[in-house]
Each structure stands twice: as C-alpha cells, then as structure tokens.
Chains A and B, each alone.
Chain A
Amino acid sequence: MFQNFRLAMAWLHTWFGLVLGFVLMAVFFFGALSVFDREIDRWAIPESRFEPQPMPSFDKVLRPVFESMQPRPESVATLRGEVNGPIPERFDIVRRWGAYTTHRDPVLNMFAGYEVPNAKDPEKTVWGSRTIDPRNGRSLPDDQLKIGSQFFYPLHYSLNFHWLDLGYWIVGLAALIMLVALVTGVIMHRKIFREFFTFRPAKHIQRSTLDLHNLTGVLALPFHFFFAFTGLVIFAGLYFPVAHSQLEPLHELHEKLEAEETGLPEDRAGVPAPLASVDAMVAEAQRRWAAQGMSGDVGFLAVQHVGDANGYVSIYRAGTDRIALTSNGIHFKASTGEVLREDPPPSAVDRVAEFLTGLHLQHFRHWLLRWLYVLGGLTGCVCIATGLIFFVEKRKRQHARQGSQGARVADALAVTTITGMLLAALGMMIANRLLPQAMPAGWPGRGDLEEYVFWASWLLAMAHAFWRSPPVAQGRLSPAWGEQCWAVCALSVAAVLLNWITTGDHLLRTVAEGYWPVAGVDLFLLASAALAATAARRLARVARAVPAMQPGGKPEAAHA
C-alpha cells in the first residue's frame, strides 16, 4: 500500500494523529487539570474550603451516616428489567460500606453497595454515595458537583459519555494512537537529538509550529509514553475483560482458593450479627503499622457483608508517603474485632502494577512532582495542538488553490478542541459561581445545570469556529482563533472576580492565609488570561501579514 516503511509510518502518524488528536487534546488537558482535581473542587464548593481531615471516628461519625444511606435513584434506575417482580422501594442488605480519603481531602466520600432481592443476576449491586464534613458528620447537598473530581477527572478517561462505556473505548483507542504517534513520530524524524534544541519562533507559522511540535513531543516523550501506556494498563480489565468472560471459570477457581487461603468469606452466612467497635479495630491496625515502623493514617476503610456473621472490616493504610494508593490491609471479624488476616507484602508483579498505576494517579504527597505533571500534561496539549495546526498550515494554501474545504474544516475543529475546550471549562466554572445555591423546584439540579453549561459553551464555541472559518479556505488565518483567545481571557478574569464577589476569598486573602487550593486555581486562571491575551495579540499581528488566495489564482493584496 505504501512505497516504503517510512511513508507508511508517516501516513499513520498524520491521519490517526488528526482523527484522534481531537480526543487526545481533551484527554491531556483534563488529565492535567485532574492533577489538581480536589483543589478545583474546593474552588467550586466554598463550604468545603477547610483543611484536609483524617478519617473520622467510624462509631461516632461514619456509622450513623452509613445507616441512613440508600442507593442513588440513577443506580436504582439501572434495575429496570433486571428484577423478577417490582423494583424494591428500600434496600436493606448491605454488601459493602466504604470510605476513601487522601491527604488532600477536607470532605469525605462514602459509598455503599446493596444487594438486590430477586435480581436476575444475584451479583447485581446498586450503589449509593454521600459526601460529608468529617468534623461533624453533616452531609453536603447531593446536587453539588465536585467539578474537579466528578467532572473533569472522569472526562479525562471516559469523556463522561457512558452509553455502552463508549467514552472509555474512545479514550482507550486514543491512548493506543498516542503510543503509535510517539513511535511513528520518532521513526519519521531521524534527527531526533537535534530536535531537542530546535525552535525557530520567528520563522513562518508552519515552520515554527513543526519545531514546537517536535520539541514538545521529543522533550516530554517519556512522560507522554508513560501516561498513555499506564492509562491503558489501569483500564486493561475493561478493554480486555478476559477474566470476566473467557476465563471466568478460572477466575472463580482462584477466588475460591483465595477465600480459603485468606479466611475472608466470599458470601454472607445468612445469620445476623452485630458490628463491634470499628474504632478499636482502627486503633489495632495503626498499632500494627507503627510496630512495623510504618505509622500512618487510614486511607481506605470498608465493611463487607454488613450485619452478617460473615461480615469483616478491612482497613488500609493511606499511601501519602507511598506510590501505591493504599497498602498494608488488615482484616477484622466485624462481630468481634478479632484479626482475621494481615495482607502479605506485595509480590514483584504487584509492585510493578502498583508503581505504574500509582504514579499515574498520584495520590501521594509530592507537590513539585504534582506541578511537573501539570507541566507535562500541558506540554502534551501543546504537542497535539501544534500537530493539528501544522496539518492545517501545510495544506491550506494548496486547498485554497484547489478550492477545497478540507483545511477549513480541520482548522475549525482545531479551534473547537483547543480554545473551545477552554471556554467550555471556564463557562462551567462561571456557572458554578452564578447559579443559586439551591435551584427552584422543577429545575434540574445545580450540578446537572453546570454540566449543561459546559457542553453548551463547547457547542457555541464550535458554531463560532465554523462561522468564522471562511478565510481559511483562502489560505488565511481564521479570526476565530484570536476571538476565542480574547474570550478565554475575559472569562478567566470573570471567574476570578466572581469567586471574590460570591465567596469573599480574593487573592490577597487566600495568598496571605496560605490557602493554596483556591489561590492556586485563581492564579492559574489569571495566568491563562495573560497567556490568552498574548496569543490573541500575536495572532492579530500574523493575520495582518498573511495575504488571501483565490482558487487557482495568486495571492491578493492583504486587507487589514
């Protein structure tokens, strides 16, 4: 099909890079934001602007909340057609209670899984969740969206498109293509060492774009490769559900052997039993960690088979100072508090898997590395964006001569994914500050509205990008680029001002108090505004210098 190996690889790089580049842009950008997902949550939920808290007392704080929980209506809605008879009104058999926290969480996220009586699939579970203030056990309103950890973060790996899990599959394909683009990119450019040092910003757009594309691609090559690869590894079980389909019998065999070996019951006994003091179990777990020279906080706490004689409590150490999210699990009999099992040290393969996924998810404490992640992610965005722009720049004069619309469409889509994506995120943050605390009856929830604003802003940006794209078909620059940069600038400043007006937390106060989650988001927004303004002014200068072209003809004289 291709004349030689290098041309084949170049074709692969260009066309897969173009098609999946639009997805990769979003994956890299929202991945970079997710590094500070909890800090963005603080910005979006002013009530949660207080210091991170350790796991609170189970007996006094968590237990009453868990006991008052029920599955979410959306989770119960998935039962339609899955139950013999009517869908139950209440769910009282609890499979699992769980709470996970990290060194960056002031509020605590709790979840509960319930058995479904008469379910066609006996393993079917419905889920409920609750966010509480761990200082007093008060629940936060359900319709408050944690924009960072519940919207930007899942957008990063699922595009928040859950029908048939299609979003996960698209992102998975994009990650594979990212790896392919890195490999083929290296093959295309033999002078890889020189590209470390080559950037000619003063040359024409096409040349400097390619320089920047190569520079950001090569310089951060290990970063890009690592994150695309580990992203695939994290969801390998979803993309290749071998253990839950073809090799399900083998998996069940393993689970039976494991239950025998660990002594942790797989199923309920059917005999009711009370729950002993979990606080005492936590104290015992912490005593054992300290005895091993690893004193630490509780990161994850779970109760399995709640209220049953087979129930057990699992307590995991928080991975604040470790790459693994949690470790050193200790399991207690729920009814007596006796220790059933202490997890053995992880195997070699476990350690590798923990290292790869833990380094990707970064729940540990390392603020410098956290910022380097943001930098790496944004470098990836620059690499992808310049790739898209180069695609257009290389073709638009030729397309203008031929009267083709290809470059124009690609350019409008590039505007949509690059500046349009920023506008969507900013629109959401502004909506978050402007919507009333509680929506009037009959309206969608506050969080739902914020999501609608996000997608609507993006659509609007897309419409604008296409509306302003005709100059591209004449070999010129689309004014949409500059206009959207100005919009990014204005909305970023507006978001910072609105945060000040609605919460009183202006930068002088947050910086003086050293409250970095909110100060950091505000400063980041202001830096974005400055960068967008600079970009807009430079774009205006470039636009004046580029003459228009007619199909089949020579360049016209430039009009301002």
Chain B
Amino acid sequence: MAATDATTSHVIARIAAALLGGYAFTWGLIALGMAGLFALGMPFHDAEHLSSMLALLAYLGVFCWAFAARSLPRVWAVLAGGGVLMAAAASLIQHMLV
C-alpha cells in the first residue's frame, strides 16, 4: 500500500505543480510582457493581448513539461520562482512608470 500512497501523492504533487505553478508562471509572463512592452512604447491593450496570447501557449508548454521533467523541486523552482520573479519585475516597471 505504501507504494500506491507514494504514487498518489506524487501524482497530486505533479498536478499541483503543473496547474498552480503553471498558472503563476503564466501570470508572471503576462504581467512582465504587459509592463515591459508598454514601457517600450507599445499601446497598453496591444501589450496585453500579445503577452496573453504568447503566455497561454507557454502555459501549455510548461504544463506538459511539469509532467515530463525528472525533478519536481526544479519544476516548482522554475514555475513558481519564475512567476514570482517576473511579476515582481512587472511591478517594478509599473512603479517606475506611474
């Protein structure tokens, strides 16, 4: 039974990483894209649409990667860590502009 429990918890951990980690990563990418492209002179809604479209494709990619990657901690580090970093960078850009 121990083996099954380990598998179940592994599966749940992977799903959480793919869904939540992937969401955080996508959010960060959209935020950074919006703030960054706007700072570079792109109209606000253009920046919003472009980064949303690209980030949604990225979500698809990282979602699959979260299941394919060998190391789960690395998945969490890249997705959640990357998401937080990008979101923070977006807020920083906003802080400089507003």
Q: Footprint of B on A, CB under 8 Å? A: 1-2, 5, 8-9, 11-12, 173, 176, 179-180, 183-184, 229, 232-233, 236-237, 240, 242-243, 246-247, 249-251, 253-254, 258, 347, 349-350, 352-353, 356
Contacts and interface: CB of A to CB of B under 8 A. Distances in A.
16 contacts: A1-B7, A11-B67, A12-B67, A176-B59, A180-B63, A240-B27, A242-B27, A242-B30, A242-B48, A246-B91, A247-B94, A250-B94, A258-B44, A349-B46, A349-B50, A353-B49
Contacts of B11: 1
A183 B60 contact: yes
Contacts of A247: 31, 34-35, 90, 94
The CB with the most chain A CB atoms within 10 A, among B11, B52, B91, is that of: B52
A240 B26 contact: yes
A253 B98 contact: yes
A357 to B, nearest CB: 9
Main secondary structure of the interface of A (DSSP, over half): helix
Nearest to A232: B56
Interface range, B side: 35 or more
Contacts of A356: 53
B92 to A, nearest CB: 12
Contacts of B68: 5, 8-9
In the A-B complex, the 10 residue pairs with the smallest Cβ-Cβ separation, listed nearest first, are A254-B44, A236-B52, A349-B46, A353-B49, A249-B98, A250-B94, A179-B60, A8-B67, A242-B31, A349-B50
B20 to A, nearest CB: 12
Nearest to B49: A353
Interface string B7-28: 1001100100001000000110
Given A229-B57, A243-B34, 6 more contacts: A242-B48, A247-B90, A247-B94, A349-B42, A350-B45, A356-B53
A240 B94 CA distance: 17
A343 to B, nearest CB: 13
B53 A250 contact: no
Contacts of A250: 34-35, 38, 44, 94, 97-98
Nearest to A236: B52
Nearest to A173: B19
Interface string B34-78: 110010001111101110110111011001100110001000000
A243 B38 CA distance: 12
A242 B34 contact: yes
Contacts of B80: none
A454 B90 CA distance: 46
B79 interface: no
Nearest to A346: B46
B53 A183 contact: no
Nearest to B31: A242
